Amino acid sequence: NDKFDVLSGAGGTDASELLKDKLMGTNYAVFGPGNPLKMHQTNEYASEQMWFDFIDIYEKLFKEYL
């Protein structure tokens, strides 16, 4: 089992486009690489290692989900 910190917060996302035909209150999650302290700032970035780590996470997630 991979362990990682969970951060939640309010905000807007284009993921709302995926929920147009769903019932109000449908749960969804948006996650990806990046530093939460740098979100939506001019110097926002993700390290190369973090990027590759998330590729591994996505591969595991999709294999499990699909």
pLDDT at 45: 86
Q: Please work out, in degrees rounded to the nearest 5, the angle formed at the alpha carbon of residue 16 by the alpha carbons of 46 and 6.
A: 45
Q: What is the pLDDT of residues 17-65, one digit of tens each?
A: 888 888 888 877 777 888 878 877 888 888 999 999 999 999 998 898 7
The pLDDT value recorded for residue 10 is: 66
Of 10, 2, 16, 56, the closest CA to residue 33 belongs to: 56
| pLDDT, tens digit (0-9, with 9 covering 90-100), for 56-66 | 999 998 898 77
